[in-house]
Amino acid sequence: MIVMYAIIKMVMYLMKPYFQLGLMPLIGAIIGWGTNMLAIKLIFRPLNPVKIPILGIQIQGLIPKRRFDISRSIGEVLEHEIISPEEIVDSLTNKNTKAEIIKYIKNLIANRVSEKLPGYIPLGFRDSISNYIGDMIDRNGAEIFDEMKTVITEKAKDQLDLKQLVENKINSLDIEELEDLIIRLSRQELRQIEVLGGIIGFFIGTIQAAISYYLM
């Protein structure tokens, strides 16, 4: 029994360096994963500034600290590089929509004229007036629509401030709602960053183990 215990003790002593070498990749993976996870958390937390007494500095999450700058930048990028008021008007007044709007205006005006004409006017005469107005819209509707589109586009350029709308909308969100929104939109990418940190840490630990084994 004593001999068996001594043998086990000797084997454990001899295997101890290799056991430590085997732990290096695992420890590296844990450190890499944990570091990246902490870095992601620090993007959002702490929500409010926290003062460190000894160092005399304040720390705060990147998003809470720079939310107004971020919302302004998003608004500027959206307006100048992604979509403009002119593009919005164009998308709302494409060829198919144009035909539908002209048809709607034609029917609306014809019905309104027929309803507003005095009752003593014969029905056939009312129909003639409605048909005349309808024909006039058919002939000139496209031109009128294009003129309206030009006016609407100019008004949109002057009055539709997409940058400010986006900035105000983001700033109106509670900081925790904003955090939840960002996480939901980028959950997969954030998870990949955490996993990548573990993988890199594992490889670094493996290299350290190999170097240590070579120097033994």
Cβ proximity of 202 and 29 under 8 Å: yes
Half-sphere exposure of 171 (CA within 13 A, CB side): 15
Q: What is the pLDDT of residue 215?
A: 66
Q: What is the pLDDT of residues 20-31, one digit of tens each?
A: 666 777 888 888
Q: What is the pLDDT of residues 149-161, one digit of tens each?
A: 787 777 777 777 7
Q: What is the distance in angstroms between the CA of the first residue and the CA of the last residue of the chain?
A: 32
Cβ proximity of 184 and 13 under 8 Å: no
> In this predicted model, which residue has the larger pLDDT, 82 or 168?
168
Strands (E), 66-161: none
Mean pLDDT (the chain) is: 76
Average pLDDT for 80-102: 76
Q: What is the pLDDT of residues 110-141, one digit of tens each?
A: 777 777 766 666 667 767 777 777 777 777 77
Q: What is the pLDDT of residues 186-196, one digit of tens each?
A: 888 888 888 88
Cβ proximity of 154 and 134 under 8 Å: no
